[in-house]
Structure 1
Amino acid sequence: MTAAEPRIEATADTVVAYLRVGRAERAASGLGLDDQRAVIADYADRKGLTVVGEYVDEDEDLTGLKLFRGSVGARTAFEAVARGDAGGLVVSRVDRLCRPIVDLLRLLGVSRAEGWSVHLVDLDLDTGTPAGRMAADIITRSVSSAQQRTSERTKVGLTAKKERGERVGAAPSLPVEVTRRILVERAGGRTLQAIADGLMSDGIPTARGGSKWFAATIKAILGSDNAADVRRQLDLDS
C-alpha cells in the first residue's frame, strides 16, 4: 500500500484465514490443514464471522514477521487485511503465526496501526473487541515489564562481575599470540586494513576459521576484553 491507496474499510465481521504446516508437520493426507480449517470454521460460526478468503503455506517453518516477508501465503494474507479485503486475520493457533512472544507483540502492533484485528482461536483472542484489546495490552505490558526487569538484572550482574575483576563477555576465541600481534602492530602505527592484509598473507585463520580478515574485524578485536587483558600484559597504551 502507498499513501495514494487509502485502506478500504471492511466490516469487522469478515476475516481471512491463514493456515500453515511446517516440514516436520507435513502429512500426505493434509489432515493438518483440514484440522485447522475445522477449528477456524467452528470459531467463525461461534463468533458470527464470515471467512472471505483462505491463505495457506505448506512446508513453511518461518514464524512472526519473517513469515510475512518470506512466504507467499502469509504475505498475501497480510496484504489482504492491510488493504481492507477483510476486517481481520484468523488462525487456529498462535504458533501458526508466531512463536517468540516478541513476534506476537510486533504483529499486534502492526495490526493496530493498520486498523485490522487478529483472531487467535486457541487463546480465544479477538483484538477487534474491547476485551481482546485489553488482553493484548496486558500481554504487551507484561512482556515489556519482564524485559525491563531482565535488562536491569543483567546490568547489575555485569557491574558486579566488573567490580570483582571477572571477565565480561565471551571467552577468548583467537589464540593469544594472534591478539598480541594485532595489538603490537596497531601500537606500531599500522592501519587496520594493513593488519588484516598481513594476517591473510600469512594464512592466519579468523576466530571462526575463515581466511578473510577485514578492518572492521581488527577494530572489534582491539576493543574486546581479550585484547584488554593482553594489552595490560604488554603494558601497551590503549
Structure 2
Amino acid sequence: MADEGFSAKDLNRPGLADALDRLDRGAADALVAIRLDRLSRSVADFAGLLARAKRKKWRLVLLSPNLDTEDAAGKFTAHVLAAAAEYERDLIGARTREGMAQRRAEGIHVGRPPSLPEGVVARIVDERARGATLRRIAERLTEDGIETARGGATWSTSTIQGVLTSRTAQRLAERNQATNGSTSTT
C-alpha cells in the first residue's frame, strides 16, 4: 500500500495505519518497505515499529538494502539507517529554513501568494487605524459582500487579525504612518 503525497517524517499516514492495523490483527505476516527512509525518517518511530513487530509477532523487511529485522545484524543496520534518515530530514529542514530566511531578507515573498486584493487589505488597515474593532471590520466586510481570501462570504475576527499581520498590511500601515507623519509636520 502506498501513501502518495505523504512524508515519512512520522507514522501518521493512512496507508501505513491501515497496513499496521492489518498486521496487528494477524491479517498479514510482514511489513515490506522498499527502503527504510520510505517507511520512517525518525529513529524513535522506527524503534517503535520494531518493538511493535516483535510484540505483535510480525516481521519488518527492507528490500534495499536487503534487511530482515529478525536477526541482530539486520536490526542493527536498520537502526543505523534510521538514524541517517532522521539526520538527513533534519538537514533538509535546516536548509529549507535558512533558504526561506534568506529569501525574506532579500525582500522576496515566501509562502502562499497573497490572495486578497490590496484595496481590501488597505480598507482593513485604514478601518483599524481609525479605531474599528476586529469584529466591526469583519461585520462591515461581510455586510458589503466582500469575499474572503478563500472566496468565503463571512469574515471572522481571526481572519481580520491574520490580514493585519500580513506583510502587505504592515507595508500599507507603514506607508500611512509616513504619509500622516509628513502632513502633520507641515
TM-score category (smaller protein): 0.5 to 0.7
Task: Give the RMSD, CA atoms, in angstroms.
Answer: 3.5
User: Quick one: distance in 2 between partners of 1:227 and 1:99?
Assistant: 45
Q: 1:1-238 maps to which residues of 2 (within 5 A)?
A: 20=1, 65-67=13-15, 69=17, 71=18, 74=19, 76-80=21-25, 89-91=29-31, 93-94=32-33, 101=38, 103-105=39-41, 108-114=46-52, 116=54, 118-120=59-61, 122-123=63-64, 124-235=66-177
Structure 1 unmatched ranges of 5 or more:
1-19, 23-59
User: Quick one: distance in 2 between partners of 1:62 and 1:173?
Assistant: 25
Three-state SS of the structure 2 residue aligned to 1:119 is strand
Higher RCO structure, 1 or 2 (CA under 8 Å, sep 6+) = 1
> CA 1:111/1:162 → structure 2, altered by over 3 Å: closer, same or farther?
closer
1:17 equivalent in structure 2: none
Contact 1:192–1:218 (8 Å) recurs in 2: yes
Residue by residue over 1:146-168, the C-alpha shift from the partner in whole angstroms, topping out at 9 and shown as x without a partner, is: 22222222333233334333334
Deviation, structure 1 residue 62: 9.5
Bigger fraction of residues in helix: 2
Q: What TM-score, normalized to structure 2? A: 0.68
Contact 2:40–2:82 (8 Å) recurs in 1: no
Bigger fraction of residues in strand: 1
Structure 2 unmatched ranges of 5 or more:
179-186
**% identity of equivalent residues:** 27
Contact 1:108–1:118 (8 Å) recurs in 2: no
Between the two proteins, the alignment pairs up a number of residues equal to 167
User: Quick one: distance in 1 between partners of 2:36 and 2:121?
Assistant: 40
